[in-house]
Amino acid sequence: MLAVVLVAAKNLLDPDVLLYSLTWTLLYGFCGRILRCYFLGTVDGFPRHSYAVALVHQMGTHPLIAVWLFFSMRLSGIGMAQWLQTSWDDELRLLERHTQYSCIACQLKDFLFADGNISNSSPITLGGFVLHHVVALLGCSMWLMAPSGAGIGTAVTLNAEITSGFYCMFKLWPARWSAALYAVTQPLSLVLGICGTIAFVRDYKNTEWSMLCRILCVLLVTVRAIGFIMEWKALKSELLGTAAGYHKVKRTHAEHKLVEKLSKDGHFPEHFDTKVDMSKVSVDVLKPWITRRITEFLGFEDDIVINYCMSQLTEPSEKGLDPRLLQVNMTSFMEGKAAPFCSELWENLISANLSAVGVPQADKFHVYLRPTKKVSDDAHCSDSEAPLSDLDRDPRSPDKSQEEHRNVPGVRSSTSSGRRRRSSSGSRSIEPPDRKKRCF
């Protein structure tokens, strides 16, 4: 038995298996980099965009392969029963092979592109995650080597992956419709998986792999059944229409549990212990600072992250704003850069809370409020000719903004360049403006 497991594990390192699987992994990883901008936050300690990438595989790749296989069978005149008995020796079987390659890639991308929040999941959730993925990897490798893996193995894999898509839908969009789909398809998927395992074991050609197939089937069915039982309260609340209170209590409990764990490990600075009364803080004054600091940390301006941070300040919980919880929530957007940002933000909030006007008094805070100087793209414009900001302009100097009206018809100017005169023909004309280049 151990020898068969080692053979299945070694097959994952086969050059062809490794090449195609890693190609699918990079494709899913690229999708993840895009989807992480739209699916923010975490679900049970896992990043939401990981569920979205899984949906690309489960509701995109595999349904397309299933449809392609169906029409291929219709065109070739092969029935379903005959196709289930096919082996890898019959033809090249590219669709069947890429069913397993893409499934291997879906498991690998969760390990290679895992978010740091995964380690904050509960031991049961994390253990089930690792066991499920290891079993799936060994199962795909077994299907690629077993004689009946081309037919029965492909059918079992398509059934397991496509129905898992309804689970991801429920985690991403918890609602009555997604709960109903998951509640119906998950038990049906387990039954079909058991039937596929029985059919595979009964085929004499698969004697070498029968014991491994039984063990993997028991493990996978057990893990998915336990997951279904753990989700039953959430499913029931969605189906009965009482989900709002359930998800709020569950989310709050999970967040505070994570904050307690991180506090014990010393992940928060000491000044987070200082309380801040947000009613004494001018939050609108903080927005320019928040915008510029988030932009500097991320390298680009992200309105979603900025607005989310502002909403945390303007709509604190009944117990007040907790800087530790704020850092945990911002980590979903800024990852490792959330800690220094929240530390600076809380220092400014403490300073603003002590101020009579509710504005931070630190010098480095006011530097971020100073408007930047705009420099023209004109090559003839020098730095010395750039206009000064309102903070740098000498109050005794005249207002330069009036020069913009110098040559506008119908507007009288006190300067000589804007003075009207009569031409030799008697009609009114305007003197040509000064040709000197200026920066605006």
Helix (H), strand (E), coil (C) string for the chain: CHHHHHHHHHHCCCHHHHHHHHHHHHHHHHHHHHHCCCCCCEECCEEHHHHHHHHHHHHHHHHHHHHHHHHHHHHHCCCHHHHHCCCCCCCCCHHHHHHHHHHHHHHHHHHHCCCHHHHHCCHHHHHHHHHHHHHHHHHHHHHHHCHHHHCHHHHHHHHHHHHHHHHHHHHHCCCHHHHHHHHHHHHHHHHHHHHHHHHHHHCHHHHHHHHHHHHHHHHHHHHHHHHHHHCHHHHHHHHHCCHHHHHHHHHHHHHHHHHHHHHHCCCCCHHHHCCCCHHHCCHHHHHHHHHHHHHHHHCCCCHHHHHHHHHHHHCCCCCCCCHHHHHHHHHHHHHHHHHHHHHHHHHHHHHHHHCCCCCCCCHHHHHHHCCCCCCCCCCCCCHHHCCCCCCCCCCCCCCHHHHHHCCCCCCCCCCHHHCEEECCCCCEEECCCCCCCCCC
Rounded average pLDDT over 298-303? 87
Distance separating alpha carbons of residues 373 and 198, to the nearest angstrom: 74
Helix 323-334 with 243-264: angle, nearest 10 deg: 100
Q: pLDDT (tens digit, 9 = 90+) per residue, 306-357?
A: 888 888 888 776 677 888 888 888 887 888 888 899 998 988 888 888 888 8
Q: 296-300, 326-330, 428-432 — which one is most confidently predicted on average? A: 296-300
**pLDDT value of residue 113:** 62
Tell me how far apart the alpha carbons of residues 343 and 4 are, in angstroms, rounded to a whole number: 53
Q: Which domains does the chain have, with CATH numbers?
A: 2-230 (no CATH), 272-369 (1.20.1390.10)
Residue range 96-109, pLDDT digits in tens: 999 999 999 999 98
pLDDT exceeds 90 at position 225:
yes
What is the average per-residue pLDDT within 247-252? 48
The answer to which of 137-146, 190-199, 238-247, 391-400 has the lowest mean pLDDT is 391-400
Lookup: tokens for 339: 């800690």
pLDDT at position 33 is 86
Whole-number pLDDT of residue 257: 67
Range in 32-41, 126-135, 156-165 with the lowest mean pLDDT: 32-41
pLDDT surpassing 50 at residue 17: yes
Q: Report the range of poorest mean pLDDT among 20-29, 227-236, 290-299, 414-423.
A: 414-423
Q: What percent of the chain has pLDDT over 90?
A: 29
- 255 vs 71, which has greater pLDDT? 71
Is residue 82 scored above 50 in pLDDT?
yes
Average pLDDT score over the chain:
78
Which residues 6+ apart lie within 8 Å of 278 measured at CB?
313, 316, 320, 321, 349
Q: Give residue 362's pLDDT band: very low, low, confident or very high (50, 70, 90).
A: low
Decide: pTM greater than 0.75: no
Q: What are φ and ψ of residue 47, in 5° steps?
A: -65, 140
Output 434 or 293, whichever has higher pLDDT. 293
Task: List pLDDT tens digits, range 184-212.
Answer: 999 999 999 999 999 999 988 888 899 99
Please give the structure tokens belonging to residue 138.
Answer: 């060994």
Where does the pLDDT of residue 115 fall: very low under 50, low under 70, confident under 90, or very high at 90 and above?
low
